[in-house]
A and B are shown apart, each in its own frame.
Chain A
């Protein structure tokens, strides 16, 4: 697929994550997530990610571009997500220094697998821990960050109030996703 149809192997994603506690353990939970392709949307829903579609853009490096050939102190990067043409998230970071690790994930990821019954059929509502392996992280750069969250009719981002931005980050990672381990079945 990587050469037969590159469209099917590339996508953009934007998300808001929260550090949450469940049964005394710390987890990462994504209440909001957007992608720009149907494949990661459906695959995400199978794992419990509440993905919607958005137009997503971010700064990219190219090895031959002066000033934007790679991360270095003072480089500014930005990105945004638009759903149905309206801006929901905008981020700007200014890189300052290379650090040893990124702040996320805050321990394992938990998400809700939710597939309601419609008149008949099985109603699925369960809390699952996403099972991943083979994490690899390249250079992690830290700096200042700016975040704008815009609420809209169908995106309650306005309920999130930012007290402080601890930092802005740029990094690459890769991993293998294996599925979900169900922690709890939820009764409505």
Chain B
């Protein structure tokens, strides 16, 4: 694992954020029954169904400045980075347009956890968000991610959750502490804790470029 290589971040520059995002990724239609394996007559067994895919996500994230030298060790040579990064643990609700019935038929097929380390990179003069490391806890999220190029592996991932009827952990507010971790095999990939300070109208990711 190369995580130790980029663990040397400047904590004074860490900015912690907690937010909810809703994202729709629109892609071209494909043949429904054999978009992915296994191909069967009606395609109901395939691990990933055709796009578009919908995502509802809750994040615990941290805006991090890694040292440039350490970040350069985990990206291909044709990309460059100044070390600005984004680390998160997130809870996803996600489905293909074809599978909204999964929401009630099998929640395991629409819910997953994700942990990732992202870097702001530059390619041919433009900034992009690139993830050298990403973990999920479901197979369909892993394979779908590989189709998009995310280097997903399987991990046990946990994060603090809020519930509106709990006395303290019912909503994001100043002073609230939240945490999460990703564990793979016999090791902890990363662990993070954030303490919320204020509501903000924008995410640092807006400066990273497309992903």
Contacts and interface: CB of A to CB of B under 8 A. Distances in A.
A24 interface: no
Interface stretch (A65-73, A139-147, A151-159): A151-159
Contacts of B97: none
Q: Interface extent on B, as a size class?
A: 35 or more
A84 B45 CA distance: 14
Interface stretch (A92-100, A110-118, A130-138): A110-118
Contact of B185 (A5, A116, A152): A5
B37 A38 contact: no
B199 interface: no
B106 A153 contact: yes
Interface in B164-179: none
A112 B39 contact: yes
B138 interface: yes
Nearest to B151: A42
Contact of B34 (A5, A48, A188): A188
Contacts of B36: 114, 116
A159 B44 CA distance: 11
B38 to A, nearest CB: 4
A125 interface: yes
A156 B40 contact: yes
Contacts of A27: none
B151 to A, nearest CB: 10
Contacts of A152: 106
Interface of A: 5, 7-8, 31-32, 37-38, 41-42, 45, 48-53, 84-85, 112, 114-119, 125, 152-156, 159, 188
Which 3 residue pairs across A and B have the least CB separation, nearest first? A50-B37, A84-B108, A50-B38
Interface of B: 27-28, 30-31, 34-40, 42, 44-45, 47, 50-51, 102, 105-106, 108-109, 138-140, 142-143, 146-148, 152-154, 185-186
